[in-house]
Structure 1
Amino acid sequence: MAGMSISSILTVTVPVADQERALAFYTSVLGLEVRSDNPFPMGRWLTVAPKGAETSLLLASWFSDMAPIGGLVVTSPDLDALAARLREHGTAVEGPDDQPWGRQLLFHDPDGNGFVVSQA
């Protein structure tokens, strides 16, 4: 049975209304890189990820009935700089705050998907 277990998470689907707007936010504001941008029967297969990361985010616009996701936990080496950058681009940010489990901040992307960013 051990050989039949899941060994990694490849992609997490993030519902977005407008792939171009989402692409600009995830690359220009969050600093992620484009992993794939290919034609897809329902639009574009558009994935982004931090440089060197195994898991990518699929910015999917074809799930019109999919609710925004919450609780995506990511890391950043500089929460203060990230918070400032998000605020510069009009994104509401909670924190950074010190919690019993570590330092973190919270924000939502333009489509309402919620993120928790922990200090790396």
Structure 2
Amino acid sequence: MMISQIGKITAFVADQDRAKAFYVDVLGFAVRADNVWGDNRWLEVGPGEAGTAIILHAPFPGASAGNLAGVMVNSPDIDKVVARLRDAGAVVDGPTDEQWGRQATFSDPDGNSFVLVADGPR
């Protein structure tokens, strides 16, 4: 196979500081990079220090915030994450029990949407 992993995903956001607060304070992600070069800010977050990261970036010309959809994230305690999201004011659908396992859906403050999937056996 030519591709070994997905390294980074870009989520366009209208306000990088607001997005950083959501991903770090609500989802518990770590800031992996937060650098500014001229008018560009590279803000990279992810669960822990390794694995796929999400770049929280201002939209490029012709793009708009909130267009990321269907990214799946996992948790060993889906109920705790759902409660934390709701406490922070996020709209969450679920969790629901599906044939493949337990899941919920939510969006960040810009409308980038995620599917939260429970780790482990059903």
| Distance in structure 2 (CA, Å) of the matches to 1:39 and 1:52 | 20
Match of 1:116?
115
Q: What is the Cα deviation at residue 31 of structure 1?
A: 0.2
Match of 2:84?
85
Q: Secondary structure at the match of 2:81?
A: helix
Q: Secondary structure at the match of 1:111?
A: coil
Tell me if 1:48 matches 2:24: no
Stretch deviating more after TM superposition (46-55 or 100-109): 46-55
Q: What is the Cα deviation at residue 88 of structure 1?
A: 0.5
Tell me if 1:33 matches 2:42: no
Match of 2:9?
12
Q: What is the Cα deviation at residue 81 of structure 1?
A: 0.7
Q: What is the Cα deviation at residue 19 of structure 1?
A: 0.3
Q: Secondary structure at the match of 2:82?
A: helix
Q: What is the Cα deviation at residue 36 of structure 1?
A: 0.5
Deviations 1:16-53 (Å, cap 9, x if unpaired)? 00000000000000000000011134421110000143
TM-score normalised by L of structure 1: 0.91
Percentage identity across paired residues of the two chains: 48
Match of 1:75?
74
Aligned length: 117
**Quick check: 1:105–1:117 contact (8 Å CA) kept in 2?**
yes
Q: CA RMSD in A?
A: 1.4
| Distance in structure 1 (CA, Å) of the matches to 2:55 and 2:28 | 15
Query: Which AA in structure 1 matches 2:67?
Result: P
Query: Which AA in structure 2 matches 1:10?
Result: G
| Distance in structure 2 (CA, Å) of the matches to 1:100 and 1:52 | 32
Gaps of 5+ in 2: none
